[in-house]
Structure 1
């Protein structure tokens, strides 16, 4: 698995790169937004670690431009306690975030969680296609559509839709989504699942007028059809 680390702290990036490499990953580093975006757009990496505070182009602009052409998983490296950075990054299409300073083992756990998710989806042999209420996903091509129109989903959004399509009409809890999609337990006040579902709703709404993902307060989300 090839990881691209985009961080302007050269000393930290070097130490982090060595640690990630020791865990069995190939690592390439960039130290400003322009260089990082250029490398990311070459589509040679399986996952990107993206710092928010970068020279030339900040992390948000890198992510925004990258999402115009690529759905590669991105973990944002944010300032500790800065909820705005986290939420804005998720709105732009980040798959997950981790606040600085962080424990290196925690970062590796997040990387491996995304790796497991990708492998799980790729190895899902039963029911290669799932369809409900004009929503469809094909596991073989890892594509999704609404009303026959292609949905450009991030890996996290695809995994959430896949989970909901497996049990249409049944409530799927935030805890279940966090554990099965993000690979971690849901933390108090963690809004990442809400943001991913909100992004997924917006993309579906571009092609289907009626609501498809309903929030069940205090319980989770349920995939519904037309009344």
Structure 2
């Protein structure tokens, strides 16, 4: 099964929303002493990341090619403002991976426009991209823990319970530690993340079905 081949994401059933909340309560109680107040919901994470542009660049002009190369180099050197300036021109009609890298730069800069830009770029059914399985986002003024609906049984193709449990645990670690976009997975995060039940199996499943994982971001 390849979850990214589903052409339609149907509405998740109320019963499965309840199951997600119960699963989150279990994780919260077992690992975080019920200290996590945000509630989980099925929703498409707005961030989609790509390490660098790789495809569809043959049509670019020499100037665009130069800017693209400079933008990638600036990103790797952590010159994020330069990367933003150089890569902005490729959204939304430039090379897809360049647009995704631009979204990544916006998230690292905590630029308030990144959710809207990410939603304009991201296509959850594209065979060539990697999709975030979960995130913590502010939606209509309220913080929420999102789990991608394509992982549900009624709204998508379904994932084992241990996969959804791991995603919830991973996002709760972010909330528990208050991690920053500049350093989302410090050593203490990785230690707490490694405590998750069935973590290895969950990561293997997510990679097999082409979702991003913590191991892709070392």
TM score, norm. by length of structure 2: 0.26
TM score, norm. by length of structure 1: 0.26
Bigger helix fraction? 2
Bigger strand fraction? 1
Higher RCO (CA < 8 A, seq sep 6+): 2
